[in-house]
Amino acid sequence: MKLPKMVGLNPKRKEKLLTALIVLPPLLSVFFFFYCFSGWNFFISLTDWEGFLPTQNLVGLRNYASLFHDPLFWTSLQNNLLLIVVFVPGVIVIGLFLAILLDRKVRGEGVFRTIYLLPFALSFVVTAALWAWMYSPRVGTINVILEKVGLGFLRANWITDPNIVLYCIIAALIWQFAGYSAIIFLAGIRSIPVSQIRAAQVDGARTFTLYRRIVLPQLRPSFVTAFIIFMCFALKAFDFIWVLNRGGPGYSSHILGIAMYKETFGFDRFAYGASYATVILMLSLVIVVPFLWRVYRKDRP
Amino acid sequence: MATLTIKGLSKRYGKTPAVEDFDLHVEDKEFVVLVGPSGCGKTTVLNSVAGLFDIDEGEIWFGDELVNAPARKVFKIPQKREVAMVFQDYAIYPHMTVFGNIAFPLSIRRTSKQEIETRVGKAARLLEIDHLLDRKPKALSGGQRQRIALGRAMVRNPKIFLLDEPLANLDAKLRVHARMELKKLQQELGVTTIFVTHDQVEAMTMGDRIAVMNNGRLEQIGTPSELYTEPANTFVAKFIGSPPMNLMEGSLVASDRGPRIDLGFSPSPHVLSPSLVERIRGAGITEITLGIRPEHITIGREHLENSVEATVEYAELTGKEVNVYLDLGGEPLIAISGSGQDLEKDERVWITLDSRRIHLFDRTSGRRIE
Amino acid sequence: MSLLKPNRWLLYALLIFFAFLALLPLWSCVVTALKSSKEVILSTPVTPPMYPTLGPLAQALEYLKRPLLNSLVLVGAGTIVSSFFGSILGYVFSKRKIRGCGVGFVLIVLCLYIPPQVQLIPMVRVMSNLGLHGNLGALVLLYMVFGIPMCAFIFKTLYDEIPDSYTNAAKVDGAGTWTIYRRIILPLSVIPFVVASLLQVTIIWNDYIWGLVLTTGMDNLPVTVAMANLKGSFVAEWNLQMSGALWIAVPTLVIFILLGKYIIRGYSGK
């Protein structure tokens, strides 16, 4: 009776080593830059590190208490919530609407789709420049057009007006993401089996009913995906607003991301900034983790 | 000598057992078919032999070499097992030519270019695909791809061939032809082969021996004729043969004419000879299942001794025969009659069961009563 | 489905209206970038230039010359390294069923949702310690690693579509994990590489915050940061600003126009 003497073990070992060598560096560096940093950031938020003080003492949750009493924090949070409440549903609804339009077997669908997606191709820096030009009170595109078509009374100071600046920003962001949102929903619509549509048509359903009763209910995954993506974006948004007007005028368009940056790199209050960052992280996790949990639970080995 | 011995193979996925306590011995050059309904565990057995995963319990021997035994921490990786496998979707690599596909197992072993050409050429000629060697698989038909997969398997001269439903994706007409060709090929090459299918006709026509599986367990193993004429339990009885064997439930009852089998319809026929009754008595059982194959039921228009009255539900002409669906006092029955007989719906006929061909099974366990 | 004519006209009208909205800011940008400063003042933001000039574009280019180069370097290095490692990880997560693969992959995907704010301060510390702060090298390192989660996700999703029978057949035929990768998976990876690369290119090219935080000095800035400075310092020179914006926008716009279908594939697979 012959038993295999270590057959397949050494080459197996060698392969395991090779695998580890190739897979560990990227894996470890990713975990370092994302998870270790998150933990490190939280740790920093528990200190009193600011400026170039050599000392960093652990002060517990003092920074968070300060946040709680900081009017800037509350303004930023409020603005962020406004952003979320208006931007997220706005971009979803418009995206869905565009997707339904595109689904109607239009000629040149590809062309329209590409055009709607173009704003998404732009850097926020570019978008900020474009919309600064659009919103410029004296010579900007919007006011000039309004004047020319006789709607001059609708002219406003747009982003220089603290009362409406946030809405201007939201509009610009919806402009940037509407095409992307449409793509998400179009993919969802197209993944519904054609046979279902046909069956409903044969049963007498007209377009409106078709979309309302058959398509929409099955778009739930797309809604969830879009919701998560845009919520998380709203929480971490920084680039656009910073380049547009640094969160102004004054503090009227400050959101959490702006406030965090200002505290950290404007005032060198690193620990305080870190606490802002942790708040942003927590809010993001609250949204994302339940989603990922449900999606990937069935894939457990 | 390439024999395969499997002892007590068990494999579970989480809590669900895919295969339980499976034994099999395959002789050198033998063609064994693993057959059963989907989910019965036959592919799991095949994959275990190939080494695509470790089993939970049991042993797998190739000849006198132990290849997998979790109890002894033995597991030989698939790359080293010297088996060849053909998958249901053929797994033909789209980015390589036919030649590249067949040569693949040789090329990763750094076989000399010359040797590769010879061996691939030989296999391709044998399978009649040598004119396709430079082509890419994309444009080729299912039948051609299947032969490429066979070529790739053959070219290494493996000890064991494992075939996972290789004919399932071919259209019906091609399949019949392919069965023959495959069996011929196997005999010519003289390779020990395990062939998995869910089609019992395929199993019956191709296998030297057949192993019937159900719910992860081996129901019976034997030659086609053994399985057909002496099924070990009701599952095998119903699974092998088309149209399937008729099974009726009955019990042993006492009557003024001595012990009788009551099949639930009256008049209770003494269609069972005393020897049958003795068998049942001998086994100490009273609840039985009686089996009779469709071709062993005679349909007549007159009442004969031991015949029972039945109504014709439906007659299905298959060309050379007629499948007659009967209603026997509420029980459905299938019989085969020659296409000469002209039977109409709702016609009342008299059927006789060939008493020499009756199968008896214990109703509770399903096992055959000798 | 046959719709009545008026409905169809309404549909197209709506589509065109939204297309107009989508393109208006861009159109305004292009026409402004081609106008002399005088003409900018004298005409509306949407009228095409009567005397088009490449002056502003040239001026912006002069200012953005080095940053454009920097961004190119970042895009090249970041894309190549992260898509390579993304392919490796995607393969391991898709085809090698090691224990903990499921959890590991979820953690990778989760990275995509972690806000950059929590990474800002630690990153500055690490880069200072490595002596890379202020330097383009910091960004190179950063983009190489930051791109890995997204690439791994894309590759894993697309590798999942390669039937397991391909890898099983190769295993039985004698191929080890990395032989399978080299001979079978990699040749079938053209589409995922295209998708991952395009996504990485646009993301890295368009990024702003990391360039802002980690680089100083004109020689080190990526083009987005440089252009934002441009906006700050030449506030009223709209044609210059629009020109700068165009230099940044045109590469990604071209990518989206020509290779849009791959971009869509990458994003709708999410």
CA end-to-end span of chain B, whole Å? Answer: 36
B5, B184 contact by CB (below 8 A): no
B321-328 β-sheet, strand order: B297-300, B348-353, B307-317, B321-328, B331-338
SS3 B108: coil
Amino acid (one-letter) located at C70: N
Amino acid (one-letter) located at A267: F
- Interface contact flag, C170 B88, Cβ < 8 Å: no
Q: What is the CATH number of the domain that holds C186?
A: 1.10.3720.10
Regarding whether C138 and C113 lie in a shared domain, the answer is yes
- Interface contact flag, B77 A1, Cβ < 8 Å: no
Regarding whether C197 and C212 lie in a shared domain, the answer is yes
Paired tokens of B244: 């399937």
Chain B neighbors of A8, CB-CB under 8 A: 76-77, 79-80
CA neighbor of C250 nearest in space, from C33, C55, C74, C21: C33
Q: Name the strand (E) or helix (H) holding A72.
A: helix A71-103
- Interface contact flag, A141 C28, Cβ < 8 Å: yes
Chain B neighbors of C170, CB-CB under 8 A: 104
What pLDDT, on the 0 to 100 scale, is given for residue A301?
43
Pairing between strand B297-300 and B83-86? unpaired
CA neighbor of C226 nearest in space, from B99, B36, B316, A243: A243
pLDDT band at C269 (very low <50, low <70, confident <90, very high): low
**Among candidates C118, C208, C244 on the partner chain, residue whose Cβ is nearest the Cβ of A239:** C208
Evaluate if residue C163 carries a pLDDT over 90: yes
C154, C86 contact by CB (below 8 A): yes
* B16 to A190, B20, B213, B329, C193: CA distances (angstroms): 36, 10, 16, 40, 39
- Interface contact flag, C174 B108, Cβ < 8 Å: yes
**Among candidates A26, A98, A278 on the partner chain, residue whose Cβ is nearest the Cβ of C148:** A26
CA dist., res. C144 & res. C203, Å (int):
12
Q: Packing angle between helix A10-31 and helix C101-111, nearest 10 degrees? A: 30
Give B218-264 as a DSSP string: EEEEE-HHHHHHS-SBHHHHHHSSSSPPEEEEEEEE--TTSSEEE-S
* C269 to A183, A202, A225, C152, C257: CA distances (angstroms): 10, 31, 11, 13, 19
What pLDDT, on the 0 to 100 scale, is given for residue C235?
60
Asked if residue B243 has a cis previous peptide bond (ω within 30° of 0), the answer is: yes
Chain C neighbors of A16, CB-CB under 8 A: none
- Interface contact flag, A3 B80, Cβ < 8 Å: no
3-state helix vs strand vs coil in chain C, percent to 5: 80, 0, 20
Query: C 58-77 residues with CB below 8 A of A?
Result: none
Q: Does A8 touch chain B (CB under 8 A)?
A: yes
CA dist., res. C103 & res. B127, Å (int):
46
Which residues contact residue C125 at a Cβ distance below 8 angstroms, ignoring those fewer than 6 apart? none
B17, B11 contact by CB (below 8 A): yes
DSSP lists the bridge partners of residue B334 as B325
* B54 to B13, B39, B48: CA distances (angstroms): 12, 19, 7
Q: Does C51 touch chain A (CB under 8 A)?
A: no
A48, A272 contact by CB (below 8 A): no
- Interface contact flag, B79 A2, Cβ < 8 Å: no
Chain A neighbors of B72, CB-CB under 8 A: 3
Q: What ipTM is given for this predicted complex?
A: 0.91
Regarding whether C47 and C75 lie in a shared domain, the answer is no
Regarding whether C135 and C11 lie in a shared domain, the answer is no
Q: Which domain holds residue C36?
A: 1-53
* Poorest-pLDDT segment among A149-163, C140-154, C171-185: A149-163
Regarding whether C106 and C31 lie in a shared domain, the answer is no
Domain boundaries, given as residue ranges, for chain A:
98-253
Residue of chain B minimizing CA distance to A12: B77
Regarding whether C173 and C147 lie in a shared domain, the answer is yes
SS3 B310: strand
Q: Name the strand (E) or helix (H) holding B315.
A: strand B307-317
pLDDT band at A6 (very low <50, low <70, confident <90, very high): very low
- Measure in Å the smallest separation between the Cα of B352 and chain A Cα atoms: 50
CA dist., res. C180 & res. B357, Å (int):
55
Regarding whether C82 and C46 lie in a shared domain, the answer is no
CA dist., res. C52 & res. B217, Å (int):
83
Evaluate if residue C75 carries a pLDDT over 90: yes
Q: How many domains does chain C have?
A: 2
Paired tokens of C58: 């040239």
CA dist., res. B10 & res. A292, Å (int):
34
Interval A238-286: pLDDT, tens: 999 999 999 888 889 999 999 999 999 999 889 999 999 999 999 999 9
- Chain A to chain C, count of Cβ pairs less than 8 Å apart? 265
Regarding whether C40 and C78 lie in a shared domain, the answer is no
Chain C neighbors of B104, CB-CB under 8 A: 170, 173, 175, 183
- Interface contact flag, A4 B77, Cβ < 8 Å: no
CA neighbor of B77 nearest in space, from B68, B65, B86, B69: B68
Evaluate if residue A296 carries a pLDDT over 80: no
B287-292 β-sheet, strand order: B260-262, B246-253, B287-292, B359-362
Evaluate if residue C152 carries a pLDDT over 90: yes
List the Cα angle C73/C77/C83 in 5-degree steps. Answer: 145
Interval A68-93: pLDDT, tens: 999 999 999 999 999 999 999 999 99
Interval B215-260: pLDDT, tens: 999 999 999 999 999 999 999 999 999 889 998 888 777 766 666 6
Chain C neighbors of A134, CB-CB under 8 A: 24-25, 28, 45
Environment class of A103 (CB within 10 Å of its CB; exposed 0-12, middle 13-18, buried 19+): middle
Chain C neighbors of A260, CB-CB under 8 A: 117, 120
CA neighbor of C228 nearest in space, from A253, B48, A123: A123
Regarding whether C184 and C77 lie in a shared domain, the answer is yes
**Averaged over C59-64, what is the pLDDT?**
88
CA end-to-end span of chain C, whole Å? Answer: 31
**Among candidates A15, A178, A264 on the partner chain, residue whose Cβ is nearest the Cβ of C120:** A264
What pLDDT, on the 0 to 100 scale, is given for residue A156?
83
- Interface contact flag, A12 B77, Cβ < 8 Å: yes
> What are the structural domains, with CATH classification, of chain B?
4-233 (3.40.50.300), 246-362 (2.40.50.140)
What pLDDT, on the 0 to 100 scale, is given for residue B267?
54
Regarding whether C135 and C33 lie in a shared domain, the answer is no
Regarding whether C192 and C85 lie in a shared domain, the answer is yes
Highest mean pLDDT: which of A47-51, B112-116, C236-240? B112-116
Tens-digit pLDDT string for chain B (370 aa): 789 999 999 999 888 899 999 999 999 999 999 999 998 999 999 999 999 999 999 999 999 999 999 999 999 989 889 899 999 999 999 999 999 999 999 998 888 999 999 999 999 999 989 899 999 998 898 889 999 999 999 998 898 999 999 998 888 888 888 999 999 999 999 999 999 999 999 999 999 999 999 999 999 999 999 999 999 999 999 999 988 999 888 877 776 666 667 776 655 555 456 677 777 777 777 788 888 899 888 888 887 776 777 888 888 888 788 888 888 877 788 888 776 667 778 888 888 888 788 888 888 888 888 7
* B188 to B30, B31, B127, B154, B223: CA distances (angstroms): 12, 12, 12, 12, 21
DSSP lists the bridge partners of residue B251 as B262, B287
Q: Domain A98-253 belongs to what topology? A: MetI-like fold (1.10.3720)
**Among candidates C172, C183, C184 on the partner chain, residue whose Cβ is nearest the Cβ of B50:** C172
3-state helix vs strand vs coil in chain A, percent to 5: 75, 0, 25
Query: B 78-137 residues with CB below 8 A of A?
Result: 79-80
CA dist., res. B362 & res. B284, Å (int):
10
Regarding whether C103 and C15 lie in a shared domain, the answer is no
- Residue identified by tokens 């880069």 is C127
* C185: DSSP letter: I
- Residue identified by tokens 């709203």 is A234
What pLDDT, on the 0 to 100 scale, is given for residue B27?
94
Chain B neighbors of C163, CB-CB under 8 A: 89, 91
Strand residues in chain C grouped as ranges (E): none
CA dist., res. B357 & res. B335, Å (int):
14
CA dist., res. A83 & res. A167, Å (int):
8
**Among candidates C21, C45, C142 on the partner chain, residue whose Cβ is nearest the Cβ of A133:** C45
CA dist., res. B51 & res. B62, Å (int):
12
List the Cα angle A185/A189/A190 in 5-degree steps. Answer: 115
- Interface contact flag, B156 C173, Cβ < 8 Å: yes
Name the pTM for this structure: 0.88
Chain B neighbors of C188, CB-CB under 8 A: 94-95
CA torsion sign for B339, B341, B346, B349 is: negative
Chain C neighbors of A292, CB-CB under 8 A: 106, 109-110
B108, C175 contact by CB (below 8 A): yes
Residue of chain A minimizing CA distance to B74: A4
